[in-house]
């Protein structure tokens, strides 16, 4: 499957600023069609963030943000404001499970993140 790729911006302060409000240390973050990274971005992180970009496209951008917060709040109720809550977000589960697979983006089925549970 042909997939679009986001614009990658390395050596950005955005992940540093956002880490102050998150239960994790953010190394890179996808904001719509742009990925901001603290430093040089690895191939694995490129795949991870490109998976998020595909999720943005599937949910028409605003849907991703709303669902991300919804899934995170659901996980926080269950696990507290922790790294585990972040890892239980459906979008993160798909991205973490497949960011090492160099072929995943070429074979990925749309809406694959729906199969994961909080």
DSSP H helical segments within 9-107, as ranges?
A: 14-19, 43-58, 62-79, 83-87, 90-98, 104-107
What average pLDDT values come out for the chain (118 residues) when binned by 10 residues? Answer: 85 97 95 97 97 97 97 97 96 98 96 96
Q: Tell me which residue of 44, 56, 46 sits closest to 10, measured CA to CA.
A: 46
What are the domain boundaries of the chain?
A: 7-107
What local confidence, expressed as pLDDT, does residue 39 receive? 96
Question: What phi, psi does 37 have (nearest 5°)?
Answer: -125, 145
What local confidence, expressed as pLDDT, does residue 2 receive? 62
Q: Could you say which DSSP state residue 2 is in? A: -
What local confidence, expressed as pLDDT, does residue 94 receive? 98
Q: Could you say which DSSP state residue 109 is in? A: P
> For residues 104 and 31, what is the distance between their CA atoms, to the nearest angstrom?
21
What local confidence, expressed as pLDDT, does residue 3 receive? 73
């Amino acid at each position: 499957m042909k997939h679009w790729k986001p614009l990658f911006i390395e050596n950005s302060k955005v992940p540093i600023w956002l880490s102050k409000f998150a239960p994790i240390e953010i190394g890179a973050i996808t904001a719509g069609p742009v990925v901001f990274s603290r430093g040089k971005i690895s191939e694995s992180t490129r795949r991870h963030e490109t998976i998020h970009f595909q999720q943005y496209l599937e949910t028409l951008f605003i849907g991703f943000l709303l669902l991300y917060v919804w899934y995170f709040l659901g996980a926080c109720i269950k696990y507290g404001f922790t790294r585990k809550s972040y890892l239980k977000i459906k979008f993160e589960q798909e991205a973490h499970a497949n960011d090492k697979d160099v072929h995943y983006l070429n074979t990925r089925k749309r809406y694959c993140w729906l199969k994961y549970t909080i």
